Amino acid sequence: MRQTALEPVLDRLAFNLLWAFVMAIPWEGNTLIGGFAITRWLGLLAVGVSVLWFSVRGSTRRPCALHGWTAAFVVWASLSLAWTRDAAMTLSRMGSYVQLSIMAWLIWELARTEKRWMALLYAYCMGACVSSIETISNLAMGVSVASGNAQDVYTRYAPAGFDQNEFALLLALSIPMAVYLLTRRQSLWAATLCWAQLLLGTVAILLTGSRAGVISLAVAFTILPFALPMLGGWKRRICWVALPCVAVCAVLLVPATTWERLLTTGSEIAGGSLDHRTVIWAAGLNVFREHPFIGVGAGAFGPSVADAIDINYVAHNSFLSVLVELGVVGALILLGILASMFYLAVRMGGLDRWLWTVLLLTWAAGASSLTWEYRKATWFLFGMVAAEAGLTRIVRRANVTASPRERAKAPATRCASDVPSPALQLP
């Protein structure tokens, strides 16, 4: 086969594998194939095909500033192996960071058009919808999740293999995505997927009994005031009907004991221990005072606080985790990543600006009580905001070089090679 004919085939295959990988992020749980998570296999296949595609294509895209910050974060975490308190944990975390950075890079390389970028949003929403259905199915079958706390009498639900709090944040991130996609031109079944995830995802988050999840959900829904004016007439009417339906389903389906836990959110924040998180945070800050600049090594938070609390707990706060493990240097690099994402979001304009602002705030609300700096969903956001910024940059360059008449005739897309279709179709 000729080289020119092979390139589009490999390109399409690599993107389809990436699409499947993204769809698996919110639903994989403990789904294993040959002892490895399904995302591991899909990721390896996507990387392998992409390497072949790069070799045939002979070039890669020029990275943006956000890629520089993420690369610096991975390099600094890898260097911490020289002074870590737990070499095995640091090596494991290094491997995770390298794999996650590759995922973000593949999104940059393969999501080169607006249609592909939106397809990845659909993939995440589809995976979240599957997990939401599984959660509600567990409720119907009476399969609840043990909390691990003998004093916890609350009923909580989540798919097998998921922590309830992490699962709630995974779903909360899908809410702004689904609302955003509803404002775009789409087929009927794609719109149905978005409406279904808004309803099922909200109910599933409440069923987890996660207080942090409910806070993240509240932040996620702040995109509605910005999105409602952009919805078509019939979609806007459906939205006003859907919101009461969500409330009714939540009241009817969520057990009373789960509501009891959720209603303790205010008291826990005001004077509780947040399920002993404050004890862990205090121990982590003590360790930070001893190693303020370079930290104790990537992944070494647990072993570092074990002497104080007798258990190798993770930080349950992504910002504190990075501060303790990678010191002030690592924390500043993470701040650079987040600041770069916010800067790119502000430059986008329109609803895209609010999509990423709300997604960042939703992530921050959840990550404040979870250790999420090495989770796939976090780096998926890194890759997606960079990819959309790349699309915006292409259009900005085209507008600068084009004449006024050419700009007026240009299609309203963010990539010249992305020709709009009557209805957005998933791959």
Tens of pLDDT, residues 286-304: 999 999 999 999 999 999 9
What average pLDDT does range 213-242 have in this prediction? 87
Q: Decide if 174 contacts 201 (C-beta within 8 A).
A: yes
**Amino acid found at 166:** E
Average pLDDT, the chain: 85
Residue 419 has pLDDT above 70, yes or no: no
The average pLDDT across 199-215 equals 93
Structure confidence at residue 90 (pLDDT):
95
Render 36-61 in DSSP notation, one character per residue. EEHHHHHHHHHHHHHHHHHHHH---P
Question: At residue 413, does pLDDT exceed 70?
Answer: no
100, pLDDT greater than 90: yes
**pLDDT tens, position by position, 46-94:** 999 999 998 888 888 888 999 999 999 999 999 999 999 999 999 999 9
334 vs 425, higher pLDDT = 334
pLDDT, position 327: 96
Q: Give the per-residue pLDDT at 270.
A: 65
Secondary structure (3-state) at 32: strand
In this predicted model, which residue has the larger pLDDT, 192 or 177? 177
- Least trusted range by pLDDT, from 41-45, 222-226, 408-412: 408-412
The average pLDDT across 393-406 equals 47
**Confidence class of residue 401 from pLDDT cuts 50, 70 and 90?**
very low
Which range, of 16-25, 54-63, 259-268, averages the lowest pLDDT?
A: 259-268
Residue with the bigger pLDDT between 417 and 57: it is 57
Q: What does the alpha-carbon distance between residue 209 and residue 213 come to, in Å, rounded to a whole number?
A: 8
Residue 30: predicted pLDDT: 62
- Res 257: pLDDT: 86
Per mean pLDDT, which range of 148-157, 179-188, 394-403 is the poorest? Answer: 394-403
Average pLDDT over residues 396-416: 45
pLDDT at position 103, please?
A: 95
pLDDT for 119 beyond 60? yes
pLDDT at residue 221, as a whole number:
95
Rounded distance, CA 142 to CA 371, Å?
A: 29
Q: Is 25 in contact with 38 (CB distance < 8 Å)?
A: no
Is residue 153 scored above 80 in pLDDT?
no
Lowest mean pLDDT, pick from 149-163, 239-253, 304-318, 322-336: 149-163
Mean per-residue pLDDT for 35-49? 87
Contact 11, 56 (CB under 8 A): no
What DSSP character marks residue 33? Answer: E
- Residue 394: the pLDDT is 55
Compute the chain's Rg from CA coordinates. Answer: 22
pLDDT band at residue 399 using 50, 70 and 90 as cut-offs = very low
Q: What is the mean pLDDT of residues 264-269?
A: 75
Has residue 407 got a pLDDT over 90? no
> Measured between alpha carbons, how far is 73 from 142 in angstroms, rounded to an integer?
43
CB 372 within 8 A of CB 21: no
> 290: which residues sit within 8 A by CB, 6+ positions away?
none
* Maximum mean pLDDT: which of 149-163, 255-269, 378-392: 378-392
Share of the chain above pLDDT 90, in %: 57
pLDDT digits (tens, 9 = 90+) for 339-352: 999 999 998 888 99
Predicted local confidence at residue 66, as pLDDT: 93
Averaged pLDDT, 414-425 = 38
- Residue 393 is predicted with a pLDDT of 60
CA distance 366 to 203: 17
Is pLDDT at 373 greater than 70 in this prediction? Answer: yes
Q: From start to end of 31-171, where are the E strands?
A: 32-33, 36-37
Q: For residue 398, what pLDDT is reported?
A: 45
Listed residue (220, 191, 161) closest to 24, CA to CA: 161
Return the number of other C-beta atoms located less than 10 Å from residue 35's C-beta.
6
pLDDT at 160: 83
